[in-house]
Amino acid sequence: MPAPLSSIVTHYASGALEFTDSSGTRWTVSEIPRFEFSEQLMALLPHPERRAGWLLFESQHGDRKRLAPVPSDWHSLPTAVLEQHLALALPAGSNERRRRTDAP
Listed by start position, the domains of the chain span 9-32+49-101
pLDDT digits (tens, 9 = 90+) for 36-80: 556 655 555 655 555 568 899 999 999 999 998 899 889 999 999
Q: What integer pLDDT is reported at residue 82 of this predicted model?
A: 96
pLDDT exceeds 90 at position 5: no
- Where helices occur in the chain by DSSP H, the ranges are 39-44, 79-88, 94-101
pTM of the model: 0.71
The contacts of residue 45 (CB under 8 Å, 6+ apart) are 35, 37, 51
Burial of residue 26 (CB within 10 Å: 0-12, 13-18, 19+) is: middle
pLDDT exceeds 90 at position 99: no
pLDDT exceeds 50 at position 21: yes
For 28, other C-beta atoms within 10 Å of its C-beta total 16
**How far is it, in rounded angstroms, from Cα 86 to Cα 92?**
12
Tell me the pLDDT of the chain averaged across its residues: 78
**How far is it, in rounded angstroms, from Cα 94 to Cα 100?**
10
